[in-house]
Amino acid sequence: MRIVLGVAGGIAAYKAALLLRLLTESGHDVRVVPTESALQFVGAATWAALSGHPVHTTVWDDVAGVEHVRLGREADMVVVAPATADLLARAAAGRADDLLTATLLTATCPVVVAPAMHTEMWAHPATRANVATLRGRGVVVLDPAVGRLTGADSGPGRLPEPETIAAAVAAALHTGGRADLAGLNVVVSAGGTREPVDPVRYLGNRSSGVQGYALAATAAARGARVSLVSANVGLPDPAGVRVVVVGTALELADAVRAQADGADVIVMAAAVADFRPAAPAEAKIKKDDTTDGAPQLRLVRNPDILAGLVAARAAGELPAATTLVGFAAETGDDAGDAMAHARAKLASKGVDLLVANDVSGGAVFGQPDTVVHLLTPDGTVAGPHAGSKAEVAHAIWDRVAEIRSPLAGS
């Protein structure tokens, strides 16, 4: 794909170099169009070396090639990262006073904008109005991340990480720039719960949370308002996603139920422990002097969160139109293979979509790629969908969008 990477004049411009590397390594042909002020932070030589293309900033560069029109017309995607408050204002007003704004004005392809500025600038009514204007025109404007800004300041306004922006670019390319999940409230759970045995030990599982985070990030990039319930995950928060941190299955159940009110889609991607110790020790359990002195743990069953959501929907405690998505990480045994167990789980859970994968031998846990099948109650099995967990996340959201399409038309 031919991508124009616009870079505005903010301190976060250095991160755009990392984004450029991610885009080129993904096989895209990238032209960098910085503003004059952006070159105060990162020089033209850096952009030219990393992109393999000459770097221009004004409409007077390469006049014979009519770059100020040609770049926008020929691009498959325009990305601006960072986008300063000034750049947002000029783009919203339809200004064309440098090569970047002229490119934005002539582009007919999807446009993704990643703002970065101080919190006060981001919160100012003028900036909020400019963002609303751009979004109203179909531009994908990411919410900035929350964190350390220039100097000692901290708050909303930090440029999302390059990986997050790259995911938004992939989402826009996947959907043709359509925010097809716009207006939906989505809840995603991710990670693995840990059930305390004593203050230093726990019962847990091998879930890394990568798939759940990919689902949250891609949903946000496709326009949804996303709440992510995260259990013991060491990943950066996706930009524009509200993150609720939990530890145990009971905490996750409470958090998901609290977020479920008003949710259009709930995706239970977290690996939830089926059992927990009945009485966790208040002090660290010491080893005995005897050879057979291992402690005996009495376990109790944790609530089935997904089944509880299905029951709540049936009882009218959740809207009937809420789409419920479950995950089945299965292995084969004497009773059947992984897919047989997945079909049985679909029948018992009553969900609208079940994402099944075979985790025999520890496959997919912590890995960048995965393979899933998508099962629906009508007996349809779609797949296998194989690829990166971000690519698989898009396949899952595509199927959710298909399931919900009759609701959108009603």
302 belongs to the catalytic site: no
Is 376 within 8 Å of 403 (Cβ atoms)? yes
Cross-strand partners of 266:
187, 324
The count of other CB atoms within 10 Å of the CB of residue 95 is 14
Is 361 within 8 Å of 340 (Cβ atoms)? no
Q: What angle do CA 172, 374, 241 make, to 5 degrees?
A: 40
* Ramachandran angles phi, psi of 372, nearest 5°: -135, 160
Is 173 within 8 Å of 180 (Cβ atoms)? no
Spatial separation of the C-alpha atoms in residues 228 and 186, rounded to whole Å: 8
Residue 210's closest CA among 236, 249, 171, 240?
236
Cross-strand partners of 329:
357
The pair of structure tokens assigned to 287 is: 């080893």
Is 155 within 8 Å of 143 (Cβ atoms)? no
CA dihedral of residues 255, 259, 265, 267 (deg, nearest 10): -10
Residue 87's closest CA among 5, 168, 7?
7
Stated as kind and residue range, the H or E segment containing 202 is strand 202-203
**One-letter amino acid identity for 195?**
E
b/e burial code for range 348-380 (CB count within 10 A of at least 16 → b)? ebbbbbbbbbbbeeeebbeeeebebbbbbeeee
- Give the count of alpha carbons within 13 A of 70, CB side only: 9
> Considering 185, 205, 302, 357, which one is annotated as catalytic?
205
Residues with catalytic annotation? 205
